[in-house]
Structure 1
Amino acid sequence: MSEPVKKKAVQHLLVWMPNWLGDVVFALPTLQALRKQYPEARLTVVARPPVSEILPCHPDIDCVIPIPTEIGKRALAQMRFAFSLRKYHFDLAVILPNSLRSAWLTLLSGAPRRIGYETDGRNFLLTDPLPVVKESRSIHGSDYFAGIVKPLGIETVDKTYPQLLTPDAIGKQRELLKRMGADPSRNLVIAVAPGASKPEKRWQTERFGILCQKLVKDKDAKILLFGSGGERELLDEVRRFCPGKSAFLLAGLNLQVVAGLLGNCRLLVANDSGLMNFAAMIDTPVVGIFGPGHPKTTDPPIAPERKELVTLNFECSPCRHRFFKECEPSPNKKPFCLEDITVTQVARAVDALLDRLA
């Protein structure tokens, strides 16, 4: 840090949020620690949709400014957006993403103090650049973000979350599920999210389908298939394995709606993904399928008894995601750390979690 930031000097605090849902989940404890450190300051966050959809309900956030989707990667449009932030007169900006772009836009926002990791050659854009965490591939995501605020005098970050899902939100979506034919009071409702940020992190679609088919036949389950708007085809492939009207495709929904639906599910089965961590944050039990990732870096934030993590613990996990440059692909073009996970293993994890939740 150049000079210590005095608490009274920070009247308006800007937090530039990560782009990915899982990273936002891991960053929220750091944001909450900033609120405790600067209780009198106005706290504004800038975030991209769709992650910006879940932030207005957080009690520590005063204002959410979504990054307009239409600006894309156009430099001039991005600059206009950044300049539009100057009217807020930020005193301090905490930049959580590692990108050069986020540091550049924060500079243009007019914030006089800008703190973040000196990644991506951006140290000249920051007033308070921090050395890159050398163990970034072996520490949990929440610890990585917590390191950014240590120079502000925040030595410990409480990794708990406020109640972001209200009974009203759960009740509203429960009525929707009843109309769909998946009444949580009468059916075992299980959420399934077969997507992930990269194809190499996705367990085979066919295996998700066989798992869903097994859950329907053995447990008379109702399956809610979650994914982004771009994953509709993927979800439909999984749905084809499910008999009758046992599975429901839910693609591209607002994240607040997704939260209400997940709150009505007994559990979620998902790849190592943002939705897995989002579900854990709102206390929906999870079965997480880990291949290239590892729980030591993306362990879902939920009590141990409310999660089952399926991983083969390859020595190279978590890897650098340089797929098939450092390992050989399987015949299905998946890394073997994911390919070798069977339907039986995941089904057993579901059974174990259901037994504990009973």
Structure 2
Amino acid sequence: MKILIRLPNWLGDVVMSTAFINAIRQLYPGASIDVIIKKELGGIAKLIPGLNHVHIFSKQEFSGLGGVYSFGKKLRSQRYDIYFNLPHSLSSFVMAWASGAKQRVGFNKEGGFFLLTRSFKKPANLHRVDEYISLLENSTGKSITDKVVKLQADPSAAIKDTVIINFNSEASSRRMPLDKGRSIINALTTSFKDVSFAFIGSPKEAVFVDELLINLDNADRLQNLAGKTNLTGLAELMAGSKAVLTTDSGPAHLANAVGTPTIVLFGAGDEANTAPYNKQELTIIRYGKLICEPCVRNTCKLYGIPKCMEMLDEIKIINALSLHLNYA
């Protein structure tokens, strides 16, 4: 049995899809399991246990529907028995169709009914992990009870006694406002006098992190790593850190999946659907007193700068972090 899984297109979603991959191994114990992953996220695939082969897909090299068709057609020689399609975009369905897999399974969205051999209605109001698992349960008629989101990363010793902070997000409604971020950082360095803090981000987020760290107290204990790590290295840093304090973003899921104590600060976004899945050593902090919470907008239409982030309580953040720093 040869199985191919088209992984999602965002870091957090890829991490959450590891539960689906683990469930595939449970139901098809002798199968060869391959995945397709976007080039920018390829490093994560190295951390997913039990994969036989990773196909790297580049949108730049294979652009448009013609490109994804060509990419899928290249896979025909592999003669896959089942192709599970986790995204629900037309381009992903075209890729599945072009692969020539005997069974092509996915959600009935954006043309999936025509290009897949079996398609199912996308469930509403489920956590993303349970949403992916539902596709497998519907296609096999079997229930999955052991849902594990896990990545295997070797802890880095370079980050010992350090808390990692991520205040970035692709969406401005989930990104920490600069002034609020500075207030939180000063509160943390004052409260935890023997702890260092490392700030992460992608290369394009490095400017935001630079601005965040201007004229802060205790600057000797603040390290800027934005743009200086790849995804594999970031996972290893997280695995070796004391804890990760983060906005609702891909790195939150990464930290949770490698087993690091994770504190997630929610603004926009619904934690019932997209919070990190493993509940052990996970803390969710939300202001929770605005009538607009939670929303799922990428920008704050009411206040401009997201008030749900501005009103977060520094004391709650300090108390949550203290549980992992032997300050409780």
Fold-level similarity (TM above 0.5): yes
1:50 touches 1:255 (CA, 8 Å); kept in 2? no
CA offset at residue 278 of structure 1? Answer: 1.0
Of residues 162, 168, 181, the one that matches 1:195 is 168
- Change over 3 Å in CA distance of 1:69–1:230 after alignment to 2: farther
Of residues 224, 229, 240, the one that matches 2:203 is 229
Query: Counterpart of 2:198 in 1: which secondary structure?
Result: strand
Q: How many residues align?
A: 323
- Change over 3 Å in CA distance of 1:67–1:354 after alignment to 2: same
Query: Counterpart of 1:197 in 2: which secondary structure?
Result: coil
Aligned to 2:57: 67
User: Which moves more between the two structures, 335-344 or 111-120?
Assistant: 335-344
Aligned to 1:3: none
The CA deviation string for residues 87-140 of structure 1, in whole angstroms up to 9 with x for no partner, is: 21111110011211111111111112111111224321111110121x2xx321
Q: Which amino acid aligns with 1:248?
A: Q
Q: Is 1:94 matched up with 2:77? A: no
Q: Which amino acid aligns with 2:196?
A: K
The CA deviation string for residues 306-351 of structure 1, in whole angstroms up to 9 with x for no partner, is: 2221113356544342645xxx422xx1343333224344333323
- Change over 3 Å in CA distance of 1:219–1:234 after alignment to 2: same
Distance 1:31 1:127 in 2: 20
1:14 touches 1:93 (CA, 8 Å); kept in 2? yes
CA offset at residue 162 of structure 1? Answer: 5.1
Distance 1:206 1:31 in 2: 41
Q: What runs of 5+ residues in structure 2 fail to find an aligned partner?
A: none
- Change over 3 Å in CA distance of 1:243–1:235 after alignment to 2: same
Distance 1:155 1:319 in 2: 31
1:14 touches 1:92 (CA, 8 Å); kept in 2? yes
2:164 touches 2:200 (CA, 8 Å); kept in 1? yes
Distance 2:84 2:292 in 1: 32
Q: Which amino acid aligns with 2:305?
A: K
Aligned to 1:143: 130
1:50 touches 1:254 (CA, 8 Å); kept in 2? no
Query: Counterpart of 2:39 in 1: which secondary structure?
Result: coil
Q: Is 1:131 matched up with 2:104? A: no
Query: Counterpart of 1:263 in 2: which secondary structure?
Result: helix
Of residues 143, 152, 166, the one that matches 2:140 is 152
Q: CA RMSD in A?
A: 2.3
1:100 touches 1:121 (CA, 8 Å); kept in 2? yes
Distance 1:72 1:235 in 2: 33
Query: Counterpart of 1:207 in 2: which secondary structure?
Result: helix
Identity of aligned residues (%): 24
Query: Counterpart of 1:52 in 2: which secondary structure?
Result: helix
Q: What TM-score do you get using the length of structure 2 for normalisation?
A: 0.89
Query: Counterpart of 1:289 in 2: which secondary structure?
Result: strand
Distance 1:41 1:125 in 2: 24
Equivalence map 1:233-272=2 (5 Å): 233-240=207-214, 241=216, 243-252=218-227, 253-272=229-248
- Change over 3 Å in CA distance of 1:199–1:164 after alignment to 2: same
Q: Which amino acid aligns with 1:265?
A: S
